């Protein structure tokens, strides 16, 4: 986009139009709801979805929660006859409520507690109203000498949905405040800060408005969308502002300097935006709707940020940053000159050692990759001290677990006979992940059998292996059509499917980024150079997870696809400057000095701001937010080292004619 000089009237019209559209999108967000049942985190077309639909059709909704009642204070004495009679009255009263379908007492390992399995009604698949109704009923009717608590997958999803809503209003203000403070401390000018934040802020509001207008709902993944878009926008905005300050230092008039900055950066900024869009769109290979939506809407937000920056940045800089302190402008220039020469000289003397170190790090990281673990416990989304997690752990001590799963045995199965079914069920009770039976076998009018079992607390990988063993055991007995089903089965297998598909998305993203680099730089060599400092951070971060024994979760598995599109921005700006200088016949070391003088400062600022911005996001309560932001911050730091050390070391060739400044 080539900027043109605009009059004050045109500036006013552009700003007014942007303001009106923004207000419309803000108004649209009033209807944004939370995905309480977390439907967007479940694959709609998987084998588990089909089996679950059949189970619901024949046996009703799979919404079982566990209620525990314990004496107060806990561990003192046993439940008295009066308390047991009161619980029986409570059970009869609850069964009369429309939200309650069935209540079955479970044997408890503690004499001071009683445990019930409660099947809830879920008309149309919406179980949240029933969970909330049960919470109110227990709060109002539990005998005063007892304390009640709820657990189970359905309750956990409702609790997580509430935390998602709170996270939406907690993380973004923190990140915005952090960015404003950091940028004000560095630039000391409100107009420059607004030029950086305004395009990103408007793009966030437009993207969130489109998200609501298209009927999407907030979930633990989409809650990260706004902070991520803000950091992407800030990274791009810093490059615009730094080019503007360079123009002022060269003696240009403010509005001309702003327009010239956009003109000079239009090609690298466009290529950076395209690569970031590709990084986000690679998430579309997932089978989970929430991940697909995150990738698509993040890509939309990045495209909007670029378009708004090219349109709005000259206006904001030309109108609100006309009077930048000469001291700031001169400080930027002196830092650039000093930074460029000293760093270039230092790198020229150590280029070979840097390359060797990078190769050793890459080989060591790749050696650790086979040890990367994949696991995801839905409760880990909540902080360890959360009341729901503590209550779930307490209930698990009483009965062995709080989640259930089903085994669906069709009527024509070889295991459908009474003796065969009993023997099969007894064998499943010996599985290490099974805590015990979760009720009596049930038979539908069509003749299908449903066996229910209680799961021991564990992550998704352990549960996936358990479910696979059960189906493999049935197959070995000739019952190929037997299926493990239930909400817990779908959650576990979808979690594994999501994490594994992230690797496919990463490989696709790498291939597409390489093609974009090749087309953008019109050079195979520069395309290969651009890939090296961006692949290495992904290798290092995942290797660190393996070395620390930390499993990949839903949040951290998305890092490579998302960050690949983000960290390439600095590489693009550095290579663009270097390639332009070389095309004019400038020697390598002199060209490298020019790169650091013109882009090195912006690269350093963006990396620091992005790293600190994501670090602020670590204060979020949900693990999907804190883990993603923590990993992102580490990845950005590693990427900065690769851009300012490894990339120049690759560009320098130890030949006197080439190293000379000329």
- Which residues lie below 8 Å from residue 590, measured CB to CB, with a gap of 6+? 581, 660, 661, 662
Beta strands in 295-393 (DSSP E): none
Helical spans, DSSP H, in 169-189: 171-187
Quick one: average pLDDT of 53-81?
80
DSSP 551: P
Q: Which residue has the tokens 């690569």?
A: 275
User: Which phi and psi (to 5°) does residue 250 adopt?
Assistant: -80, 0
Q: Is 31 exposed, middle or buried (0-12, 13-18, 19+ CB in 10 A)?
A: exposed
Q: What is the mean pLDDT of the chain?
A: 82
Spell out the SS3 assignment of 592-649. Answer: HHHHHHHHHHHHHHHHHHHHHHHHHHCCCCCHHHHHHHHHHHHHHHHHHHHHHHHHHH
State whether residue 434 is helix, strand or coil.
strand
Q: Please answer whether residues 205 and 225 qualify as being in contact, where contact means their C-beta atoms are separated by less than 8 angstroms.
A: no
pLDDT of residue 657: 40
**In percent, how much of the chain has pLDDT > 90?**
15
β-sheet bridge partners, residue 405: 453
In the predicted structure, residue 611 carries a pLDDT above the cut 90: no
- Identify which of 39, 123, 112, 131 has the alpha carbon closest to the alpha carbon of residue 69: 112
Tell me how far apart the alpha carbons of residues 625 and 387 are, in angstroms, rounded to a whole number: 19
Distance CA 113, CA 121 (A): 25
Q: Per-residue pLDDT tens for 405-430? A: 999 999 889 998 889 999 999 999 99
| Residue matched to tokens 């490059």 | 239
pLDDT tens, residue by residue, 274-300: 888 877 887 777 778 888 898 899 999
d(CA 205, CA 178) in angstroms, rounded, equals 19
Residue 187 has pLDDT above 80, yes or no: yes
Mean pLDDT, residues 625-640: 82
The CA distances from residue 424 to 74, 416, 462, 469, in Å, are: 38, 10, 21, 13
Q: What residue ranges define each of the domains in the chain, with the CATH number in brackets?
A: 8-31+169-372+493-659 (1.20.1640.10), 61-162 (3.30.70.1430), 389-491 (3.30.70)
**What pLDDT is stored for residue 451 in this prediction?**
93
**Average pLDDT estimate for 331-339:** 56
Measured CA distances, 460 to 33, 370, 376, 492 (Å): 27, 19, 5, 5
């Amino acid at each position: 986009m080539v900027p043109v000089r605009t009059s004050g009237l045109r500036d006013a019209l552009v700003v007014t139009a942007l303001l009106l559209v923004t207000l419309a999108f803000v108004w649209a967000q009033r209807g944004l709801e939370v995905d309480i049942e977390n439907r967007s985190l479940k694959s709609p077309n998987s084998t588990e979805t089909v089996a679950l639909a059949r189970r619901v059709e024949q046996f009703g909704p799979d919404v079982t929660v566990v209620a525990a009642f314990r004496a107060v204070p806990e561990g003192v004495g046993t439940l008295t006859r009066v308390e047991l009679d009161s619980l029986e009255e409570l059970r009869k009263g609850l069964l009369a409520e429309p939200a309650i379908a069935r209540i079955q007492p479970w044997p408890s390992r503690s004499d001071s507690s009683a445990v019930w399995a409660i099947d809830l009604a879920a008309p149309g698949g919406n179980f949240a109203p029933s969970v909330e109704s049960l919470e109110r009923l227990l709060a109002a009717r539990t005998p005063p000498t007892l304390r009640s608590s709820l657990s189970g997958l359905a309750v956990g999803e409702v609790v997580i949905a509430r935390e998602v809503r709170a996270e939406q209003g907690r993380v973004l203000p923190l990140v915005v405040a952090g960015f404003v403070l950091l940028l004000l401390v560095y630039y000391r000018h409100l107009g420059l800060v607004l030029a950086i934040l305004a395009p990103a802020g408007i793009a966030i509001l437009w993207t969130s408005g489109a998200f609501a207008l298209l009927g999407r709902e907030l979930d633990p993944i989409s809650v990260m969308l706004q902070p991520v878009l803000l950091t992407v926008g800030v990274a791009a905005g810093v490059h615009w502002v730094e080019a503007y300050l360079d123009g002022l230092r060269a003696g240009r008039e403010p509005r001309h300097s702003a327009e010239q900055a956009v003109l000079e950066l239009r090609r690298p900024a466009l290529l950076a935006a395209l690569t970031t869009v590709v990084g986000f769109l690679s998430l579309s290979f997932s089978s989970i709707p929430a991940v697909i939506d995150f990738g698509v809407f993040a890509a939309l937000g990045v495209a909007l940020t670029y378009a708004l920056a090219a349109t709005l940045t000259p206006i904001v800089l030309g109108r609100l940053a006309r009077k930048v302190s000469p001291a700031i402008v001169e400080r930027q220039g002196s830092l650039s000159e000093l930074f460029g020469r000293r760093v270039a000289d230092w790198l020229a003397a150590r280029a070979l050692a840097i390359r060797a170190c990078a190769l050793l790090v890459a080989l060591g990281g790749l050696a650790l990759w086979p040890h990367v673990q994949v696991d995801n416990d839905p409760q880990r989304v909540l902080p360890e001290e959360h009341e729901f997690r503590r209550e779930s752990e307490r209930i698990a001590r009483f009965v062995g677990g709080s989640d259930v799963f089903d085994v669906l045995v069709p009527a024509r199965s070889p295991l459908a006979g009474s003796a065969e079914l009993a023997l099969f069920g007894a064998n499943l009770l010996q599985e290490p992940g099974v805590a015990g039976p979760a009720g009596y076998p049930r038979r539908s009018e069509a003749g299908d059998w449903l066996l229910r079992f209680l799961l021991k607390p564990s992550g998704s990988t352990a549960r996936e292996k358990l479910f696979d063993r059960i189906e493999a055991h049935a197959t070995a007995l000739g019952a190929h059509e037997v299926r493990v089903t239930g909400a817990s089965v779908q959650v576990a297998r979808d979690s594994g499917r999501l994490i594994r598909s992230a690797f496919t998305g990463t490989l696709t993203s790498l291939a597409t980024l390489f093609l974009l680099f090749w087309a953008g730089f019109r050079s195979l060599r520069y395309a290969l150079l651009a890939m090296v400092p961006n692949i290495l951070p992904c290798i290092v971060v995942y290797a660190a997870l393996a070395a620390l024994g930390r499993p990949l979760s839903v949040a951290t598995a998305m890092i490579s696809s998302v960050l690949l599109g983000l960290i390439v921005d600095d590489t693009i700006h550095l290579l663009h400057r270097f390639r332009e200088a070389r095309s004019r016949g400038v020697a390598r070391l002199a060209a490298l000095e020019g790169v650091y003088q013109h882009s090195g400062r912006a690269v350093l600022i963006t990396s620091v701001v992005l790293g600190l911005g994501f670090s602020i996001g670590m204060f979020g309560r949900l693990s999907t937010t804190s883990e993603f932001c923590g990993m992102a911050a580490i990845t950005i730091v590693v990427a900065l080292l690769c851009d300012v050390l490894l990339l120049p070391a690759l560009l320098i060739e130890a030949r006197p004619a080439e190293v000379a400044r000329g």
